[in-house]
Amino acid sequence: MLVSQKNNKLSLKCPLCHATQVISYSTNYKLFRHMDFSNIAHKLVLAECEHCQLIFNLLNDNILATSNLLFKSENYSESKQTQQTLLVSEFKHPVTRSFLQAEAISKILNKEKINILDIGCFDASLLQALDKKLKPALLCGFDVNPRLSLHFPNKNHYKFYSNNLSDIQGQFDLICLSHSLMYIQDLAQLMRQLKYKLSKNGLVFIQTPDINKNKLSILLGDQFYYFSQINLVNIFKYFGFKTQVIKNPWFPREVIITATVANKKPKQNIYSHQLPELLDNIDHTVNKLRQYHQHTNLYVLGTTLNAAFVDSILEHTIRCFIDENKHKLGTIFRNKKVKHPSELKSDDLLIIPYAKSSDKIKKEFEKKYQLQYLCV
């Protein structure tokens, strides 16, 4: 039974290009906030603009306003958003996302003494990684949470801003937007600021989750917008930027593009609907999971969005979360304990909810743990 619905609201306008060719969709899935993946809403309402291809959240303004207040809270500034590490074959030890981003950026732009601005800088971890890699002259960070200044390096060539982007003085050779574009409501204003603040031949580096690579990221209800390679490229073209897609195996679920100011307005892509297929795909996963409603020994692998999604569908049927990361063991996620897979018994069923990556994870787990597995 599909739960997605296509609505046609003629009164709806795209917040970016103001076109009225907008189609909205609603489903009864729960939505999550990205800080801790707790539920923030019981219904998803999204719209897709047929003109500029923007996908935007139609959630009640109060919920969005509350979520945005959270970004300014002390809880958020202390939430260690940048400390998660990952292991990639090129480096012996686990490294942070910021470290890998600085490596990737240095391959695109390898100049010394440049000025860098990071919009949504959090604790300056990306700026510090770029400082080590590129030896820039100036590193500016902007974040809506003023408390993050406490985490900011106390050095002369670092500057922290928190009120308005327009307060930032000077021009920049590199402007980074890493996992921040979808939280900025006024995209038109942002684009104007980017053009104003870029030096001649300056480059914008944008990295966001890709809804086509992890479909469940559409369930992050605290975002204003949702991007894939298709609409991200198109939106920057719409504002007169030349774009280049950066393929990077270190970030398999994300899209990375760079943008520079174009001399003449680039031609936009042909429109392609993204939401219908994407929502159908989630419906399919929901229906598959619901078949396990009566199961008694169910566990879920992971402690992020995909695990939260399974928990929201099967609720009390899920006994606890499973993670190999020793920092997660013994912690509580969505009011349930996090345990190590070695604590499970051979008739326990472990759900691996990572779509295309699930089979690979299952193969690795089968070598170490004798369990039942369900890949979704």
Q: Which CB, 17 or 40, lies closer to Zn ion?
A: 17
Q: Which CB, 54 or 117, lies closer to Zn ion?
A: 54
Contact range with Zn ion by CB under 5 A, out of 17-25, 37-45, 56-64, 173-181: 17-25
Q: Contacts with Zn ion: how many residues (CB under 5 A)?
A: 8
Task: Examine residue 17 and tell whether it contacts Zn ion (CB under 5 A).
Answer: yes
| Cβ neighbours for 55, distance < 8 A, ≥ 6 positions apart | 46, 47, 48, 49, 211, 218, 225, 226, 227, 231, 274, 275
| Cβ neighbours for 361, distance < 8 A, ≥ 6 positions apart | 301, 352, 354
- How far apart are alpha carbons 163 and 166 in whole angstroms? 9
- How far apart are alpha carbons 180 and 128 in whole angstroms? 18
Q: Which CB, 49 or 174, lies closer to Zn ion?
A: 49
| Minimal distance, residue 10 CB to Zn ion, in Å | 15
| Minimal distance, residue 188 CB to Zn ion, in Å | 11
- How far apart are alpha carbons 114 and 130 in whole angstroms? 11
List, as one string, the DSSP characters of 106-125: HHH---SS-EEEEET-TTTH
Contact range with Zn ion by CB under 5 A, out of 1-9, 10-18, 268-276, 344-352: 10-18
- How far apart are alpha carbons 291 and 313 in whole angstroms? 11
- How far apart are alpha carbons 310 and 315 in whole angstroms? 8
| Minimal distance, residue 211 CB to Zn ion, in Å | 16
Q: Which CB, 16 or 40, lies closer to Zn ion?
A: 16
| Minimal distance, residue 49 CB to Zn ion, in Å | 3
The span from the first CA to the last CA of the chain, in angstroms, equals: 17
* Residues of span 34-73 touching Zn ion by CB under 5 A: 49, 51-52, 54
| Minimal distance, residue 195 CB to Zn ion, in Å | 19
Task: Examine residue 176 and tell whether it contacts Zn ion (CB under 5 A).
Answer: no
Task: Examine residue 14 and tell whether it contacts Zn ion (CB under 5 A).
Answer: yes
| Minimal distance, residue 245 CB to Zn ion, in Å | 21
Nearest CA to 51 out of 269, 224, 240, 244 is that of 269
Q: Which residues would be at the binding site for Zn ion (CB under 5 A)?
A: 14, 16-17, 19, 49, 51-52, 54
